[in-house]
Amino acid sequence: MSNCHNHQHCIDDALIAAQSICKQQNAKLTELREQVLLLIWKNHKPLGAYTLIEQLSEQTQRRIAPPTVYRTLEFLLDLGLIHRINSLNAYIGCTHPHSHQGNKVHQHNYFLICKKCHHTQELIDKDLSNKIQSLSQNFNFTAQDQWLEITGLCQECS
């Protein structure tokens, strides 16, 4: 990641977006939900649920049960505030959460994932999504979810 990157700006924007989306959806951004979202946004590397549990337990000085964290993650996923990176079984903040309102499925999002440091970059490409939909239709297949995770080496690791 570039040294000139203002990461606090990413975190602040994510929190403002979460507050706005929760207000629009008449959903409550509880303290725990906000804490999980902020932990996810601390860096550009996906975090697993058990890493989040450990970090939350350290912050709050009490044990956080896995079902509580999984419900929180599901809430954040449903509102389009985070993504699940399937290949890593981990979660990362969504860089464009407002573009998914009314559409639970993020249809145009793709991820470049560094195999060495796990830095993850979200990409949005409607042309690629349209091509996937077209190919699916050619085979009389109705695509409901689509995500593409491309692994390789980031600039720092290559």
Q: For residue range 102-151, list pLDDT tens digits in order.
A: 444 455 678 999 999 999 998 888 888 888 889 999 999 988 777 789 99
Mean pLDDT on 28-42: 95
pLDDT of residue 104: 47
Neighbours of 49 (CB within 10 A): 16
Mean pLDDT on 31-58: 93
The residue assigned the tokens 């975090």 is 47
Identify the bridge partners of residue 111 per DSSP, sorted by sequence position: 122, 149
Neighbours of 25 (CB within 10 A): 13
pTM of the model: 0.84
Look up residue 55 and give its two tokens: 């970090």
pLDDT of residue 9: 87
pLDDT tens-digit series, residues 72-81: 999 999 999 9
For the cut 50, the answer to whether the pLDDT of residue 85 exceeds it is yes
How many CA atoms are closer than 13 Å to the CA of 9, on its beta-carbon side?
Answer: 3
Largest CA distance in the chain: 55
